[in-house]
Amino acid sequence: MSRIVKEKYYVAPGTGGKMYVLRHSGVRGYFSGNYPFDRLVQVLGTDLEEAKRKAEEILGHKNFEVNEAPLNPIKRGQKDPDKDFKWQFGQYRGQDIRHMDWDNERVRSYSVWFWGANKTKRKDKDEAFFQNLQPILLEKGLIVDYNGELMTKKDYDWKKKREVWAEEHKKAAEKSDYFGNKGDKVRRKIKFVFTRVVGDTKWGSFSVTKFVDEEGNIFMLKGPYPPFQDKENFHDCVFKIKDYSDYKGEKSTVITRIKDLDAPKEAEEPETSPEQMNINTEDQYNSEMEANAAVNEFFYPRLT
């Protein structure tokens, strides 16, 4: 337990001398002795008369001392006029985007990442910087305005690639038709288009391979790995027609048991003579039998 032996309230300039504050000081008594204290009650502002009025409202009386020492002027830092063009965080903090090395791949990728991450939602403090960064990225070709939509160059390239694929798919669908009858074994020249591994089974990988013939008909091989992957030339093949399929208007014939007749044949091994195979000829066999008979006659003579 403690008790206040002596106390007072006073108004004076605070630490740094920039504002007036109300403080409470005195002496507090403990069993071990008396100890002084001085604590902050509240910051009152820069106007002395206003500070007195606030102190009276807080304490409910005018019994407080006033130190009317003048305040020190408050020096506020000047705003950087180029702040909205400078990175405020990260490894490029403080660097002006108008004077950066835009040939540096790291600068390009980092800036595009920031733009993409803040494209739809961003903090208010980053808005001005974002609006200044965006025209530079457009000028450098790092983002693209595609039909009124801004996107990264990478997303733009992927979108164009998908459009090319869709156009190729549409043209292929117009040319392709079902071929033959189910169960027929046919011989046809076909060219490899692509193969994709779509899963794994206990027998190995499960692939889907696309071929096309000279007339534009599409053939799909499901299951085994293709016998060839030559995208330039047609190969003479034999296969069996298993089924038909239709994917987004593209008619295709499902085949199985395919064999590439143009595959290089394995070199035939030369015939091996009995001597090379370590097989005895008839004369060698007879000689060995006679030698064995003589040995047996020596060790096991006849008892007649």
What Cα–Cα distance (Å) separates residue 4 from each residue in 25, 39, 230, 258?
Answer: 10, 14, 98, 103
pLDDT, mean over the chain: 84
What H or E segment, with its residue span, contains residue 251? strand 250-260
* Tally of CB atoms within 10 A around 71: 15
- Joined together, the tokens standing for residue 279 give 């097989």
pLDDT class for 95, splitting at 50, 70, 90?
Answer: very high
pLDDT class for 15, splitting at 50, 70, 90?
Answer: confident
CATH number for the segment(s) 176-260: 2.40.50
> Any idea what DSSP says for residue 42?
E
What pLDDT was estimated at residue 146?
A: 86
What pLDDT was estimated at residue 50?
A: 93
What H or E segment, with its residue span, contains residue 135? helix 127-139
Q: What digits encode the pLDDT tens for the residues 66-87?
A: 998 888 888 777 788 888 999 9
Q: Where are the domains of the chain?
A: 3-66, 83-154, 176-260
Mean pLDDT in residue range 277-282: 57
What pLDDT was estimated at residue 24?
A: 93
> Any idea what DSSP says for residue 86?
B
Mean pLDDT in residue range 288-304: 61
Q: What digits encode the pLDDT tens for the residues 200-220?
A: 777 777 889 999 998 888 999
In DSSP terms, 97 is beta-bridged to none
| Whether the Cβ atoms of residue 249 and residue 173 lie closer than 8 Å to each other | yes
pLDDT class for 238, splitting at 50, 70, 90?
Answer: very high
What Cα–Cα distance (Å) separates residue 280 from each residue in 31, 271, 277, 283?
Answer: 120, 16, 9, 8
